[in-house]
Chain A
Amino acid sequence: MKNRISYGLGIYTVLFFIYIFTPLILIFIFAFNRGEGYVFPLQGFTWRWFIEFFRDSLARESIGNSIIIAVSSATISTILASLLTIGLIKGKFRRPHLYITFLMLPVLMPSLTIGIAALVFFRTINFPLGIPIVIIAHVSISMSYVFLIMMSRIEGFSLSLQEAAIDLGASWSSSIKDIVFPSLMPAIVAGWLFAFMVSWNEFIVTYFLIGNNSTLPIYIFSQLRFGISPKVNVISVLVALFTFAVILILVSAGKLNRRISPV
């Protein structure tokens, strides 16, 4: 009985993964297909779309902007959120739960509303639209998520670790640098990756705030409107390869890390 159920669940899980990956596989196939359209049967292998993609300066610029925005917003957001978490949970606050509830507001609101608020605010104070504003808005969106991720893990961090460091002669600032941050590193990495992902996928807020620049999602969206060239697919192949590389690095780094100190 129990075996039959877990067998069934296994099959279901395989189907689920097929469902998740089928669209990606289709895109990969058509990135190498010679024909202009998206019809079967396939018409043979080509690098043409890759060449066209790399000749497209707008596409290159969009990817560059996306990386700049995602890396800076994830970094700012992770720094702010980790300091915030340490301060709020391991510092002396009269009513930490009041602050926590307020800080959860961005998680409870669609990101669109945060983008609109940023748009109206920056236009009202007459600040020019562009990449800096996009980064600011992305930080406002992702900071609360990173804060939540950090908070769920900081509970395992005992204040006595920091006290021990200070007791042994460390100053307060080196106790933060030597002990608190390294102990929270797994959560910090998870938070950064999440913030990067939020920014990397974010379309609507960027769309409002980017002004005359372009990012990858903006570029794809405009391509979708003008009729779809398979060179768009090339982007996803590149991103997928990059992702695989990152995952491989992370997995091996994770293994390495675990060998040194399985936290």
Chain B
Amino acid sequence: MPLLMLMADVSADYGEAVKSDVFPPFDPTYYPSQLFWLAITFGALYFILSRMILPKLGANLERRSDAVADDLDEAARLNEQAEDAQKTLEKNLAEARAAARAKSLLAEQTVSEEIAIETQKVDRQIDEKLKTAETRITVVRSEAMDHVQSIATDTTKNIIAKLGFEVSEKEAVKAVEGAMDD
């Protein structure tokens, strides 16, 4: 340590700087004081930390981790709830859809049934009307035929009368019938 030697050389320049020959950390003068104050300060720090500060700090940290865990639990619970709601919603939707389909199918059936019944009814009515019409036609035709006979008889009688002959009703009818049968 040439520097230290230099220091010793110039020690006169700044007086009491190098006053002790002992290296200060190995100077036992203040060992009792060092130990005493170390014990006091270390003990005080230990007491204050372990009794007052650390339990509070630990409780704070625990409370925070508890709060975080609680929040996470709550979030998980809410998430589950949301999922349940989603499932219920989907189920309800599916049910509603199925019900609607069934209803529309039923309605379709009823309507087609009604249509069939109505058609039948209308058909029957038409048939009935056709029948009455037909019978009326036959009646009218036979009536007309009767009239034709009587007209023919009258015409025959008149033609013969014009020719100067007298003919009885019966004979005229007979002749007409005979002609018509041909």
A and B form one complex: no
